[in-house]
Amino acid sequence: MKAVICKEHGLPDKLELVTDWPEPEMGEHDVQIDVRAAGLNFPDVLMIQGKYQFQPDMPFVPGAESAGVVSAVGDKVTRHKVGDKVISMGASGAFCERIVANEFGVFPMPDGLSFEQAAGVSITYFTSYYALKQRANIQPGETLLVLGAAGGVGSTAVELGKLMGARVIAAASSDDKLALCKELGADELINYSEESLKDKVKELTGGKGVDVVYDPVGGDYAEPAVRSMAWKGRYLVIGFASGPIPSIPLNLTLLKGCSLVGVFWGRFSGEEPEVNLSNITELWELFGAGKLNPVVTDVFPLAQYEDAFNCLIDRKARGKVILTTE
């Protein structure tokens, strides 16, 4: 079958599209899925370069999330049947025509979504919902600053922050990206490539600062964001899309009484599976009610995998980057 494979670590030009990748083997609790679309995430970029905390054996198929149709089920599968439209999450393996996943890592597709939208739901929305609800305990009326607000996870934080009653300040690197954030409901916009993040936050909050920072970017924006926090603020460490892992002076947390809060949804889902499933149920209700609308603006066929990766690496994406098999 067709698959994008990684045989050696490096940038996307080291990847290959093959047509003879072995068909996956099924176990009694497994579900086989004909992949229609797969989501591309920043950890995929790190993984193909050998920089991610989890590293599969070579060669491997990148891709952690997908949407498709169940084409076969194991003898002891009870949660799914052939023909079901589903989404799947795993550490890797999604950038191909067929995958096999344990039935408990497969969920029904939310009603009303296309395969392209559904393929980008799991990692982004699951991360942001957990971050804002459990890690930040964000409250109605609080102010939320989202960095990288037009990206895959950032755009979901804007959406969910508004639904949770927060005043949302969206920060991104271009006016085009900020226009998307405004469509998603952001109350205020900051173009941090043209103006000081710290000074603009101070202006927009009347000097008070923000209650919660959602940061999937890291790098040079981390310290100004911490300096922009209100008393007892919560700084959510989501990731480091800009590349460098920032060094933050810890005296700032003392002076502001603020908390640096790590967000690792993958670990959380394993440590607290019941809470995770409750979150997913609540998210599915929001999708079903039409209160969430996943943003997909960059869709590439599987053969254009290099363009898809570079769209993410060059930070050109608005919303989610998706690969399709058809």
pLDDT digits (tens, 9 = 90+) for 36-89: 999 999 889 999 999 887 889 999 999 999 999 999 999 999 999 999 999 998
At residue 39, the pLDDT reads 95
Cα–Cα distance between 214 and 212 in angstroms, integer? 7
pLDDT per residue as tens digits for the range 128-185 = 999 999 999 999 999 999 999 998 899 999 999 999 999 999 999 899 999 999 999 9
Cα–Cα distance between 198 and 191 in angstroms, integer? 12
Ordered structural domains, the chain, with CATH? 3-121+295-324 (3.90.180.10), 124-266 (3.40.50.720)
Rg (CA), the chain: 20
Give burial (CB, 10 Å; 0-12/13-18/19+) of 84.
middle
Closest CA to 72 of 119, 39, 12, 25: 25
At residue 147, the pLDDT reads 97
pLDDT per residue as tens digits for the range 234-282 = 999 998 877 778 888 899 999 999 999 999 998 998 899 899 999 999 9
Question: In whole numbers, what is the pLDDT of the chain averaged over residues?
Answer: 93
136: phi then psi, degrees, rounded to nearest 5: -95, -25
Cα–Cα distance between 96 and 15 in angstroms, integer? 13
Residues 6+ apart with CB under 8 A from 278: none
Inform me whether the pLDDT recorded for 91 exceeds 80. no
At residue 73, the pLDDT reads 95
273-288 vs 122-130: helix axis angle to the nearest 10? 110
Do residues 144 and 166 make contact, with C-beta atoms less than 8 angstroms apart?
yes
Closest CA to 204 of 238, 178, 168: 168
